[in-house]
Amino acid sequence: MKTNIQKQSKFALVRAIILAITVSALPVLNISPASAAPITGRSVVLSNSVGDASGVSYALTTAALPTSGTIVKSVEIAFCDSLVGACSTPAGFSASSSTLASQPGGLGDASGWTVSAATAGSLRILNASNATTPSGAVTITWNSVHNPTATNTTFYGVITTYSGSDWTGALDTGSVALSTATQIQVALTVNEALTFCTGTSITGQNCGTASGSQVSLGDGSTTATATGTSIIAASTNGNTGYSVTVNGATLTSGANTITALSSGGASVMNSKQFGLNLADANTTPIVGAAKSGSGTAAAETNYGTNDTFRFATGETIASATGPSNANTFTVGYIANIDGITKPGVYTSNLTYIATANF
């Protein structure tokens, strides 16, 4: 008999303990009161989904609260690993440093709301003085939240509004699912580049279209200046840009030459002259064209002045001082002869060299 009593007593004790545990666990399980109405149109937008990220904004948006006749004095989003069973805060999640980005909307009073960062696992705000019933869509944004540690992992937020300013007296509730995600790093290697081409025709700055290598100045005359053009296109990502030099001899026919304008000068008819420039608007004679393209390269001073022509082998004719998109330069050539210029076909083979400086 005594044994039975002892057994019954033990059984009762166990039942009491189970009951006590169950009752005490109710808040933890987030089991909402039967009267709590479901919140609709709810979402929480994260400013950053990277696992373990800090300084993240959590923006809650919902439709107008269903319990519109009761004043809301506190709101909470409890973050859990699962919506089933007791709420276990996702590892790494922390609201301990959370701040309220701005006064919430749709909760009643437009001011007086403050954050409570006392519960690491929940984002909370309160306004004990709120005297206005909720109306319209609800918006609350917390800043400085620390994301859960795990990457590509779903976690949940349980939203609850309360009539008490101490997160008691639950009114409406709803849950949202969120997830962290792996940050994608996109990488691109940019190698050293120098694009350079010459020709008598280049479409835009496209070196793939470069063609032609012969510039005919026509027949020399003592009363007219012979002219012609060729094209140069260049670009580089070189740290200190690039330079282009011109290399070659003056117009030559056997032992006879047409004097190069080695110091630069204007075109003068009835004198022996050979020169070039990259100027944009020569008028005496009319030859050449303005540079094109979005690059920052420019003609050198000695080769960039309108109506002044020059030719000295090895000299730099154009350059860019830093990385430059493509530019196309038109090289204008002029040749004059005097009365004693020996007849013949005068030619000059010019090589342009681009040097990029990385």
Partner 1 sequence: MTKIKIKLLSKKITYAIFAGVLLLAYYPNIASADPITNRSVTIGSSLASASTTYNFTFTAAQATTIQSVSFAACTTASGACTPAPGFSASSSTLAAATNLGSGGTWTVDTGTAGELRMLNASNTGSPSAGITANFASVTNPSATNSTFFMRIATFSGSDWTGAIDTGVVASSTAGQITVAAAVDETLTFTLASASVNLGTLTKVSTGTGTSSMTVGTNAESGYTVAYSGDTLTSGVHEITAMGAATTSTMNSKQFGINLMANTTPSVGTDVTGTGSGAPETDYDTADTFKFNTSGDVVASAGGSTNDNVFTTSYIANIDSSTAPGAYTTVITYVATANF
Pairing mode of beta strands 256-257, 316-320: unpaired
| Cβ neighbours around 217 below 10 Å, total | 20
| Cβ-based neighbours of 227, under 8 Å, separated by 6 or more | 217, 218, 285, 286, 287, 332, 333, 334, 335
Among 90, 104, 108, 220, interactor with partner 1 by CB under 8 A = 220
Among 60, 87, 207, 278, binds partner 1 (CB under 8 A): 207
Question: What CA–CA distances, in Å, run from 3 to 11, 13, 49, 105?
Answer: 12, 15, 61, 65
Q: Are 67 and 77 in contact (CB under 8 A)?
A: no
Parallel/antiparallel/unpaired status of strands 37-38 and 170-179: parallel
Among 200, 259, 262, 313, binds partner 1 (CB under 8 A): 200
Quick check: 60 binds partner 1 (CB under 8 A)? Answer: no
Binding region for partner 1 (CB under 8 A) out of 137-145, 221-229, 279-287, 300-308? 221-229
The residue within the footprint of partner 1, chosen from 217, 260, 278, 299 (CB under 8 A), is 217
- Shortest approach of partner 1 to residue 286 CB, angstroms? 17
Buried b (16+ CB within 10 A) or exposed e, 330-351: bbbbbbbbeeebeeeebebebe
What is the smallest separation between the CB atom of 62 and partner 1, expressed in angstroms? 52
Asked if 146 and 47 touch (Cβ cutoff 8 Å), the reply is no
- Which stretch in 14-22, 128-136, 208-216, 292-300 sits in contact with partner 1 by CB under 8 A? 208-216
Nearer to partner 1, 127 or 348 (CB): 348
The count of other CB atoms within 10 Å of the CB of residue 54 is 13
- Structure token digits, residue 215: 């510039």
CB of 254 to partner 1, least distance (A): 11
Among 24, 185, 301, 349, indicate the residue that binds partner 1 (CB under 8 A).
Answer: 349
- Positive or negative, the CA dihedral 204, 206, 208, 213 is positive
Return the structure tokens found at 276: 């070039």
- Residue closer to partner 1 by CB (options 23, 340) is 340
For residue 32, the Cα-to-chain-centroid distance in whole angstroms is: 45
Helix (H) / strand (E) containing 162: strand 154-162
Which one, 131 or 193, has the nearer CB to partner 1? 193
- Nearest distance from residue 45's CB to partner 1, in Å? 41
CA 331/CA 352 separation, integer angstroms: 11
**Among the residue ranges 7-15, 145-153, 223-231, 281-289, the one whose residues contact partner 1 (CB under 8 A):** 223-231
Which residue from 44, 278, 299, 350 is in contact with partner 1, where contact means CB under 8 A?
350
Query: Considering CB under 8 A, how many residues would be counted as binding partner 1?
Result: 59
5: three-class secondary structure by DSSP: helix
Among 215, 224, 268, 298, binds partner 1 (CB under 8 A): 215
Residues 159 to 198 in contact with partner 1, rule: CB under 8 A: 189, 191-198
* Between 156 and 311, CB nearer to partner 1: 311
Site string for partner 1, 255-294 (x = CB under 8 A): ---x-----------x------------------------
CA–CA separation, 275 and 92 (whole Å): 74
Residue 298 CB, shortest distance to partner 1, in Å, is 19
Candidates 27-35, 123-131, 206-214, 299-307: pick the segment binding partner 1 (CB under 8 A): 206-214
Site for partner 1 in 308-337 (CB under 8 A): 331, 333, 335, 337
Nearer to partner 1 by C-beta: 198 or 267?
198
Contact between residue 336 and residue 268 where contact means Cβ atoms under 8 Å apart: yes
Structure tokens at 147: 């994301």
Check if the beta carbon of residue 267 is closer than 8 Å to that of residue 334: yes
Enumerate binding residues for partner 1 (CB under 8 A): 189, 191-200, 207, 210, 212-220, 222, 226, 228, 230, 236, 238, 240, 247, 251, 253, 258, 270, 331, 333, 335, 337-358
